[in-house]
Structure 1
Amino acid sequence: MKTALSSAAALLALAAPLQARPADDAKAYAKRIAAIDDSGPMLNSVIVYDRDAARKSKAAANIGPLHGRTVLVKDNIETREWPTTAGSLALAGNMTGRDAPLITRLRAAGGVVLGKTNLSEWANIRSSHSTSGWSAVGGLTKNPHATDRNSCGSSSGSGAAVAAGLAWAAIGTETDGSITCPASVNGVVGFKPTVGLVSRTHVVPISSTQDTAGPMTRSVADAALLLDAIAGSDPSDSATASADRYAGRFTAGLAGASLKGMRIGVLRKQAGTRADVLALFDRALADMKAAGAELVEIEYAEPDAMYEAEGTVLYYELREGLADYLRSSPADIPIRSLDDAIAFNKAHASEEMRWFGQETFELAQKATDRAAYEKARAEGQRLAGKEGIDRLLKENRVAVLVAPTGGPAWPSDLVYGDNFPGGIGAGSLAAIAGYPHLTVPMGAVERLPVGLSFLGAQWDDLEVLRIGAAYEAARSAALPVPSFRPWSPAP
């Protein structure tokens, strides 16, 4: 029987960052998972973990640059130890015995795969009425800052686990917001790199145009270190042809990063209208200005056509890409196409579709017009890239664009689905363009974390990380600590 820990103090002690050797840390992380994720508040952020991680961490202690550090991996990325399910019961037996190339790189750099994290099922592409953080395999992931509130998605478990101190770091994936949103609402750093910097081979796909994996950590320096480990070219993923040109140097200059003389573009419209979020944003801007940055106010509205194009692209690429992935699996799985997945969900509706349906899958099933897809892909990338981020950076002579990542976490509601705080954030620009997007904690609203986004040009990942690290060092706002309890208005 699962038991609760005796006090909030005990829970907070378990979530405190560790300072021991990586092998000792790995042992402690396993205890934390048992105490916080499987028992007590039962965060449901980790689906499975390696009880032998401490021994593996000790064996990797002299392998760099990670030296045995433990990493949790989102369960749409293949690792040889466990099935890769994307949260769906249809893939519960998807035991491929393969490592995704990004995991091969992680291990070669001395990283230890601690376990697999829960996610929004099928990376939140099955339905527009879903509850983020829920999957049929892992249940509902809870936000450690307020266990009745959402952990966002689709990298829900990765964000919640890092916030709860269940591993040194985690790897998430993003198509549009799936790293940065859970990082923001869980109060951690999340980095969506330029598409093509990290291999997507053996990762359950949505979009070949927008998908990427990226780090979720407690600091920008840790995100850069993990990115150094997993980035690089992969002959099986043509988008990564240029990756080796940039890989392996993301920690360079972070320690001494400065905002002095840096021109920062402020996306005022994308900050929304909530007074509490705006106050937090203004404090972050004041911190950057005090550190020597020059702030440039920018008025910009994303065109509706950009989002319409994105939908066409995602539906078409999901149908094609998912079939390619499913056919490639050596495991004995019951589905080999999107049609099969739809049929499986209907046949297992009581388990898979009790809370929400699969209308997005069904739209993708009908997305067969290649000419319309190619036109939409070109238009979306033009509007978000050349005429979006690129134009804003050039015309305003700024290094990056900043805005709040989103609002505070909303209450989880399986009956009605997500209730996103609308009108805050600019992450879709970077997602559709395929450009880098970093979110760094900037404080809290009612003890609920809120992140600050930094958006940059294609392949300008290092510059974005440096500016984010400089802001992190200059930040004056206090950051919240996880309560592991439901939210309440009491201080």
Structure 2
Amino acid sequence: MIFSASFGPAVLALQALLGVNAAPTDAAHQARAATHKCKISINEIPDLIDITIDHITTYLYDGCFTSVQLTKAYIARINEVNSTLHAVLELNPDALDIAASLDAERAKGKIRGPLHGVPILIKDNIATDDKMNNTAGSYALLGAKVPRDSTMAAKLRAAGAIILGKVGLSQWANYRSSNGSSGWSSRHGQITNAYYPNLDPSGSSSGSGVGASIGLSLAALGSETSGSIVSPSQRNNLVGIKPTVGLTSRYLVIPISEHQDTVGPMARTVKDAAYILTAIAGKDPYDNYTSEIPFEIPDYWRNLKRSSFQGAKIGIPRIAITSSSTNAPVLAAFNNAVEVIKKLGATVYDNANFPAYDEYRRSGNSSIVLGLDFKTNVKQYFDQLTYNPNNLHSLKDLIDFTMADPREDYPDRNVNTWISANNQPCEDNSCAYAWNAYQADVYLGGIGGILGALESAGGEGGLDALIMPTDFAAGIAAIAGYPIVTVPMGFYPETTRPSAPNSRGLISNAPNQPFGLAFLGRRFDEQKLINFAFAFEQKTDVRKEGPDPYIVPSAQIKDFL
């Protein structure tokens, strides 16, 4: 598999521990086995492509396996497929030690919560203060050090999750080139989708999508500025939660835009995504946007109901759903999904449209906001580093490094997006030009967009949520920081003719390619959207009913018992 060369010995040390005949000699396993009896046979343990947090917590409690054994199985799965898919950039060299310490806690009766001892992968823009790198896929930050864990990493650790490693991404979260490709970075090469050879994985959370889709970990964290959680989630047959901007902290997450960036879970089930969101959401003194959270964070997973659509009012902004030569299967599946939602008890309002949609389509304000935010926020990130190996202190420094370092594949992959951002007529995002552009976005995404559509029908209180094929959902929610939950909706037929590869060798449409249904709502309305997604998931079970990926690891927990 492909890892950073600087961590070769650590990776080899982990691999050396993966002998399939290794005896379960860890003290935690022995202690648990003495007090709990596994209620299933080894062969009844679910495949790691299907296993859930509820499964894992039950089997860990019953002593069916340990977190060490589970972690070994995930590492083995990564090693099986990573040379083909390039999803995982670095393994955590301390992962097995962390798993052992969590097993020891469990043996003593301390269980931190549902994520205790569960391995999760995180995107390589979410900083960890450990032996792993935090690079956004770029050599510019290889070896850089942060003062502490990002809040996202710290919250995962506090919840008992094992940060298994860093997954790849579209370099700089897809904010560098005008001629790049989803899932490519200079450090790991091109990530591809597991549902068809050389299929575009979508981005920028490409590794998160691919890794979670085929069980390289229980789930993954991704980040979104515009589409980077929901798009790779839907194209990899996953549930993705793009939280309201400010529900999850961005502290020490390599930024694009303080006004649009958000971090969220990508998982195979709604409940697993809700478990993870519960662990990572909340106020953070290092990110003042989180001070707007108007409530104590609920257990998003606790009250999920199959009956969530009973009495609900759901709108469809048809104005933003367009047909093309390739998306007929998506639109057919969407119309079927509408009928399912009606039968589940919802009243559906067609043409609940975005009031200012034409103005939104003409607007260039988002480019202004992203450019000036990146110019400002990337400098702020550089200034927080405790070790800055390439002495980067500005966007101009980053441009110069990338153009000069041959490993960065310049000029084949240009830096035009950065040049445009650096040439904005302000030095930072505090100027009136930036503020006016952001205020225009807040209107176009809010009263002129999602909020206006939600209030356009349904009588008092308006609509509860909007639904769209996920392909169309991201942009208008992004500019005003509104939440989206995407859930699997269907697959392209096996008879679909694969599209011709693009200049980077990626196929944009293929047989068995997954796609999703998006639920959009008001700011901080995640609970309602998660409940709707759960009800739809439980009724349709699209993920399990659909085709299998073309490449699936064979390693299982039973190989390490």
Same fold, TM exceeding 0.5?
Answer: yes
Unaligned runs of 5+ in 2: 3-45, 61-65, 494-511, 553-561
Q: Which whole-Å CA distance do the structure 1 matches of 2:330 and 2:321 have between them?
A: 8
User: 1:180 is matched with which residue?
Assistant: 230
Q: Which whole-Å CA distance do the structure 2 matches of 1:102 and 1:235 have between them?
A: 13
The 5 A counterparts of 1:415-454 are 425-446=472-493, 447-454=512-519
1:164 aligns with 2:214: yes
Question: How much does 1:57 deviate?
Answer: 2.9
User: 2:555 is matched with which residue?
Assistant: none
> What is the one-letter code of the residue matched to 1:110?
G
User: 2:505 is matched with which residue?
Assistant: none
Question: How much does 1:208 deviate?
Answer: 0.6
Residue from 313, 334, 344 that aligns with 2:401: 344
Name the CA shift for 1:299/1:291 in 2 (closer, same or farther; >3 Å). Answer: closer
Q: Secondary structure at the match of 1:466?
A: helix
- The question of whether the paired residues in 2 share the 8 Å contact of 1:443 and 1:480 is answered with no
- The question of whether the paired residues in 2 share the 8 Å contact of 1:26 and 1:70 is answered with yes
User: 2:338 is matched with which residue?
Assistant: 285
Q: Which whole-Å CA distance do the structure 1 matches of 2:310 and 2:48 have between them?
A: 38
Name the CA shift for 1:353/1:246 in 2 (closer, same or farther; >3 Å). Answer: farther
User: 2:118 is matched with which residue?
Assistant: 69
User: 1:96 is matched with which residue?
Assistant: 146
Unaligned runs of 5+ in 1: 3-11, 407-424, 486-491
Question: How much does 1:394 deviate?
Answer: 1.3
- The question of whether the paired residues in 2 share the 8 Å contact of 1:146 and 1:482 is answered with yes
User: 1:269 is matched with which residue?
Assistant: 319
Question: How much does 1:480 deviate?
Answer: 2.8
Greater Cα radius of gyration, structure 1 or 2: 2
Q: Secondary structure at the match of 1:396?
A: coil
1:17 aligns with 2:51: yes
> What is the one-letter code of the residue matched to 2:85?
L
59-68 vs 83-92, greater mean Cα deviation? 59-68
Q: Which whole-Å CA distance do the structure 2 matches of 1:468 and 1:15 have between them?
A: 20
Q: Which runs of 4+ in 1 moved over 6 A?
A: none
Name the CA shift for 1:289/1:244 in 2 (closer, same or farther; >3 Å). Answer: closer
Kindly provide the CA deviation profile for residues 332-365 of structure 1, in whole angstroms up to 9, marking residues without a partner as x.
3212210011001111256332542011100110
Q: Which whole-Å CA distance do the structure 2 matches of 1:284 and 1:354 have between them?
A: 45
> What is the one-letter code of the residue matched to 1:79?
T
Question: How much does 1:243 deviate?
Answer: 3.3
1:151 aligns with 2:201: yes
User: 2:192 is matched with which residue?
Assistant: 142
Q: Secondary structure at the match of 1:395?
A: coil
Q: Which whole-Å CA distance do the structure 1 matches of 2:91 and 2:155 have between them?
A: 20
User: So what's the TM-score if we normalise by structure 2?
Assistant: 0.77
Kindly provide the CA deviation profile for residues 265-299 of structure 1, in whole angstroms up to 9, marking residues without a partner as x.
11223332132111111121121112112111025
Question: How much does 1:476 deviate?
Answer: 5.9
User: 2:419 is matched with which residue?
Assistant: 362
The 5 A counterparts of 1:35-434 are 35-38=80-83, 42-50=84-92, 52-60=94-102, 61=106, 62-81=111-130, 82-96=132-146, 98-243=148-293, 245-273=295-323, 274-298=327-351, 300=353, 302-305=357-360, 307-334=363-390, 335-349=392-406, 351-369=408-426, 370-397=431-458, 398-406=463-471, 425-434=472-481
Q: Secondary structure at the match of 1:241?
A: helix
Name the CA shift for 1:234/1:54 in 2 (closer, same or farther; >3 Å). Answer: same
Question: How much does 1:390 deviate?
Answer: 1.0
Kindly provide the CA deviation profile for residues 124-144 of structure 1, in whole angstroms up to 9, marking residues without a partner as x.
011232101000011111101
Question: How much does 1:305 deviate?
Answer: 4.3
RMSD across aligned positions (CA): 2.1
Q: Which whole-Å CA distance do the structure 1 matches of 2:421 and 2:308 have between them?
A: 45
Instruction: State the number of aligned residues.
Output: 455
1:30 aligns with 2:75: yes
Q: Which whole-Å CA distance do the structure 1 matches of 2:189 and 2:307 have between them?
A: 41
248-257 vs 140-149, greater mean Cα deviation? 248-257
Q: Secondary structure at the match of 1:170?
A: strand
Q: Secondary structure at the match of 1:150?
A: coil
Name the CA shift for 1:199/1:14 in 2 (closer, same or farther; >3 Å). Answer: closer
Question: How much does 1:304 deviate?
Answer: 4.2
Kindly provide the CA deviation profile for residues 308-329 of structure 1, in whole angstroms up to 9, marking residues without a partner as x.
1111100010001001101111
Q: Which whole-Å CA distance do the structure 2 matches of 1:219 and 1:242 have between them?
A: 28
Question: How much does 1:403 deviate?
Answer: 0.6
- The question of whether the paired residues in 2 share the 8 Å contact of 1:128 and 1:359 is answered with yes
Residue from 469, 480, 486 that aligns with 2:547: 480
> What is the one-letter code of the residue matched to 2:378?
L
